[in-house]
Structure 1
Amino acid sequence: MAPTPTKKELLLKAAKELFGEYGYAETTFKKISERAGVALGLLTHHFGNKEKLFLTAGLDVLHELIRTIQTTVQDTPNGLEAVRAFCTSYFDFARDPGKDFMVLIRCSPFSDLKTISDKDLMVSSFSELYDILIACLARGIKDGSIRRLDARKTAVVIFCNLVGGIRHGFLTPYGDDSMFDDIVAFLVDGLKPAPGV
């Protein structure tokens, strides 16, 4: 049996849900405390202000995503399969309602954070995802499962497709249930060495 969540954990969970549902501007401390069933004053006690709570919520989701992807790519047979696992894991995590990924979609951590130190912390954390993907690409180049390319630039292109796919899938009426698998297949096919090379 799971331990009973603390009031701080209840507040953080409610904040992640509400930031994901309503965005940064429309999420209030009052809504968060009501959703959590916890006194309003505890929000300030635990998190200080709305921006610090937003940063904490975003980082909590992001760090769980990083751990999930690290575990997923760990036992892949080669770099190409590591990239496939990375992309599939990213989409699976994002589509799992229990993971609160929408907090990263509905609220841009780069535009809603006001202080430089908070933005730097978020950028540093997002960079961990890029580093994992770059390592998967470099591994594939080395083992021959991925054609020769610039791993850093390719990681940026892959992320553009992942983020765009999620935004398109969640925020527009287009696409179907196979769209995310199609994106992964398209990305992986583009990385393979040319036949006979």
Structure 2
Amino acid sequence: MSQVSTLTKKKLTVRGQRTRLELLEAAEQVFGERGFEHSSISEITRRAGVALGTFYVYFPHKQAIFTELVDELGERLRETLNAASKDKTTRLEKERAGFRAFFEFAGKHRNLYRIVRQAEFVDAEVYHRYYKRLATSYSRGLTRAMQVKDIGTYDTEVIAYALMGIADFIGMRFVVWEDPAALERVTDEVVHFIQYGLLSPQRLGPLSGPLPASYGEGDKK
């Protein structure tokens, strides 16, 4: 989150923090439904249930609340992912928990994709910051796993962005575009791919552990 917004949050009363959150939640709805250009401060305050003048106590203009919203969503997402994976032992367990937590977060914040994509054109700096902070946190976890030989040796920034890309598109296809009824199966498929990759069992060579019973069934067809 930006330095200005962090300082502002620290100075707010409990009631002020609640009002700020209500404005951000309303902005998430409005920007997601109407897009930045067609959204208005009056509509945000109407949905938040506060007076128009109250908006300017917390944000100087429309772009300020948009930028704050992207930062806020990014912070909440990182906290959600960290909380979901912190008690897991292996990197693969952490990946499963993290992917599942991301899919659930995207299901709860169904305007997340629209808002983040708009950020590229509204405020490129916050757009880059959203992904860079997520990748930095991800990369740190991968580095720790690499240091204890839980995963192979990689450029962890590259792998972080690769895995983020998988999560991004799988979430869009199976969470945002339709009812995520098959979320468990989809998560299993993603983790399976992370563990074993694209190669068939015949080409994988020696493995440190057994393959799932269903693995390679496609090669028999």
1:141, distance to aligned residue in structure 2 (A): 2.6
Tell me what 2:152 maps to.
147
1:158, distance to aligned residue in structure 2 (A): 0.8
1:77, distance to aligned residue in structure 2 (A): 0.9
Describe the shift of the 1:8–1:29 C-alpha distance in structure 2 as closer, same or farther (beyond 3 A). Answer: same
Is 1:167 the counterpart of 2:179? The answer is: no
Is 1:7 the counterpart of 2:15? The answer is: no
- Work out the number of aligned pairs and report it: 187
Q: Distance in 2 between matches of 1:193 and 1:128?
A: 37
Describe the shift of the 1:170–1:186 C-alpha distance in structure 2 as closer, same or farther (beyond 3 A). Answer: same
Tell me what 1:78 maps to.
90
1:180, distance to aligned residue in structure 2 (A): 4.3
What CA RMSD, in Å, does the superposition of the two structures yield over aligned residues?
A: 3.1
Q: Equivalent residues in 2 for 1:86-105 (5 A)?
A: 86-95=98-107, 97=108, 100=109, 102-105=110-113
Counting aligned pairs with the same residue, the percent is 22
1:50, distance to aligned residue in structure 2 (A): 1.2
Ranked by relative contact order (alpha carbons within 8 Å, sequence separation 6 or more), the top structure is 1
* 1:18-55 C-alpha deviation (Å, 9 max, x unpaired): 22233323322222122112112222332111111111
Would the aligned equivalents of 2:35 and 2:118 in 1 still touch at CA under 8 Å?
no
**What is the TM-score with the length of structure 1 in the denominator?**
0.77
Q: Equivalent residues in 2 for 1:61-72 (5 A)?
A: 61-72=73-84
Tell me what 1:111 maps to.
120
Describe the shift of the 1:139–1:27 C-alpha distance in structure 2 as closer, same or farther (beyond 3 A). Answer: same
Describe the shift of the 1:83–1:175 C-alpha distance in structure 2 as closer, same or farther (beyond 3 A). Answer: closer
Is 1:30 the counterpart of 2:42? The answer is: yes
Describe the shift of the 1:136–1:49 C-alpha distance in structure 2 as closer, same or farther (beyond 3 A). Answer: same
For structure 2, the 5+ residue unaligned runs are 1-13, 199-203, 210-221
Q: Distance in 2 between matches of 1:181 and 1:30?
A: 44
* 1:102-159 C-alpha deviation (Å, 9 max, x unpaired): 3431122542324xxxx43453343222122212222333333323333221111111
Would the aligned equivalents of 2:106 and 2:112 in 1 still touch at CA under 8 Å?
no
Q: Distance in 2 between matches of 1:38 and 1:160?
A: 38
* 1:144-195 C-alpha deviation (Å, 9 max, x unpaired): 3323333221111111111111222355459862334423432343399960
SS of residue in 2 equivalent to 1:48: coil
Describe the shift of the 1:103–1:55 C-alpha distance in structure 2 as closer, same or farther (beyond 3 A). Answer: farther
Q: Larger C-alpha radius of gyration, 1 or 2?
A: 2
Residue identity matched to 2:193: F
Judge which range, 32-41 or 187-196, deviates more. 187-196
**What is the TM-score with the length of structure 2 in the denominator?**
0.70
Judge which range, 60-69 or 162-171, deviates more. 162-171
